[in-house]
Chains A and B, each alone.
Chain A
């Protein structure tokens, strides 16, 4: 492992995390196409379990949260609660065009701007829906981020600095 300051038990935990990331799937109001693509990851054709990627039922067991669909305002509270239940270090994959910016639901009265407006997203996957191999690639990208985060000792090194612009507030709300 890259980190040298960790003790042996921490190194063991990190090794296990890198070898077997556990994912959980949360549909925040999508059309289920992304969910079907994730199911395609689990069936024998793609079979992500041979890479050690396990789909878990509870967010308390998971390292990576895959959010499918746009975040509706009703699901926003639930999505936030699911994300808060996950133990650190946790990573979020926003799947599809909807997760990135609303997709075809963009601008509707009940849809928030993006998943990123509710929980911090680490990886966006493009596509409507993305192919299963792109989902696997996103999980592997999260593992790369995990390795770098261990080396840097936290997630702080890749957080953007919040620029206070006089006209706009951070999340697109217009200041009066």
Chain B
């Protein structure tokens, strides 16, 4: 399947999960809910033959965290599955058992936004420095560094 996906194909397959928008030529966006995200990703993977996860991007809109799962495949059409999760309880089932590279993106999102991916085998720190304090997520919009907290780096000694 090397022809670009058409709106009929995408809408016919994905309309059970939520609204399907034809954003641009070769670009679709499917807005779904966190409960259905695993099924939606499975369907995108199998029925639309999107076998490649481009990236998972996250946005803090101050009301919610938006997660965008960008997929593509041999047909070179970009299909984005979008969900919004509440800011006060940011929890989401992991995608790392379905798509292996998603685990790395989820570790980064956990670092920078503090979103917990339940079922992830090892949500260890990956981007921030090892001595970064716990429960500080620098890409959240309401995060501000205060002068008192030590954010890591070697303290200067023996100069």
Binding site for B on A (CB under 8 A): 71-74, 76-77, 79-80, 109-110, 112, 117-118, 120, 170-171, 173-174, 176
Contact = CB atoms under 8 A, between A and B. Distances in A.
A73 B132 contact: yes
Contact of A76 (B143, B153, B159): B153
Contacts of B159: 120
B128 interface: yes
B121 interface: no
A161 to B, nearest CB: 12
B135 interface: no
- Top 6 A-B pairs, shortest CB-CB distance: A76-B153, A74-B129, A109-B138, A73-B153, A73-B129, A73-B152
Given A76-B129, A110-B129, A118 B148 contact: no
A171 B153 contact: no
Given A73-B153, A76-B154, A110-B138, A174 B147 contact: yes
Contacts, number: 44
Interface in B100-158: 128-132, 138, 143, 145, 147-148, 151-154, 156
Contacts of B147: 173-174
For the complex, would chain B's binding face be called helix, strand, loop or mixed by DSSP majority?
loop
Contacts of A76: 129, 152-154
Given A74-B128, A110-B129, A174 B148 contact: yes
Interface residues on B, range: 10 to 19
A62 to B, nearest CB: 20
B145 A109 contact: yes
A109 B153 contact: no
A29 B73 CA distance: 33
Indicate the member of B131, B132, B138, B153 with the most A CB atoms within 10 Å.
B153
The winner among A71, A110, A176 for most chain B CB atoms within 10 A is A110
B148 A71 contact: no
B153 A112 contact: yes
A71 B151 contact: no
A173 B147 CA distance: 7
A174 B147 CA distance: 7
A74 to B, nearest CB: 4
A110 B148 contact: no
B137 to A, nearest CB: 10
Contacts of A110: 128-129, 138, 151
8 contacts: A73-B128, A73-B132, A74-B129, A110-B138, A112-B153, A118-B156, A174-B148, A176-B148
Nearest to B137: A109
Nearest to A159: B159
A171 B143 CA distance: 23
Nearest to A76: B153
